Amino acid sequence: SLPPPYHKRNAVDGRVRVSGVVLGGEPPTPQGATEENTVGLEMGKGTGSFGKRRNKTHTLCVRCGRRSFHLQKSRCGSCGYPSARIRKYKWSIKAIRRKTTGTGRMRYLRHMPRRFKTNFREGTQAPPRRAAAASA
């Protein structure tokens, strides 16, 4: 089709070079590579790729303590820190149940029922038990 200086066929792989551009044929293989020893060298998402994973995407969250704080996003996937509100969604009722009031220490709230019984009375002295029993 084209005059000889612009049209050359490679004798090794049968590709055509037109004005310095390579057309058609198989792509070149690395030196010493055969079909047997190059099968499976492409990296997938499976077993072979797990050896490459040595840098962490998540670290500990200062608010919820879980390893859910994404370093590049600077956001916790579990509690939503640094957002002011705790992350929770109605589509995960079980997750809400795991994190709700009563699953932790409740340092303040656990004394409320007892204080409610005395109408939140403070600063008074309880009568001695012996005197109270003797008078009754």
DSSP string, 23-79: ESSPPPPPTT--HHHHTT-S--SSGGGGGG--S-SEE--TTT-SS-EETTTTEETTT
pTM for the complete prediction? 0.56
pLDDT of amino acid 117 = 96
- Whether residue 49 is predicted with pLDDT greater than 60 in this model: the reply is yes
pLDDT of amino acid 4 = 56
Spatial distance between the Cα atoms of 12 and 114, rounded to a whole number of angstroms: 92
**Where do the domains of the chain lie?**
55-118
**Chain mean pLDDT for the chain:** 84
pLDDT of amino acid 126 = 87
- Whether residue 73 is predicted with pLDDT greater than 60 in this model: the reply is yes
Candidates 24, 19, 29; CA nearest to 8 is 19
Mean pLDDT for the stretch of residues 126-135: 79
The amino acid present at 132, given as its one-letter code, is A
Query: Residue 18 belongs to what H/E stretch?
Result: strand 16-18
Quick one: pLDDT band at residue 134, thresholds 50, 70, 90? confident
Quick one: pLDDT band at residue 20, thresholds 50, 70, 90? low
Secondary-structure class of domain 55-118 per CATH: mainly beta
For residues 129 and 112, the model is more confident at 112
Quick one: pLDDT band at residue 25, thresholds 50, 70, 90? low
Spatial distance between the Cα atoms of 98 and 130, rounded to a whole number of angstroms: 46
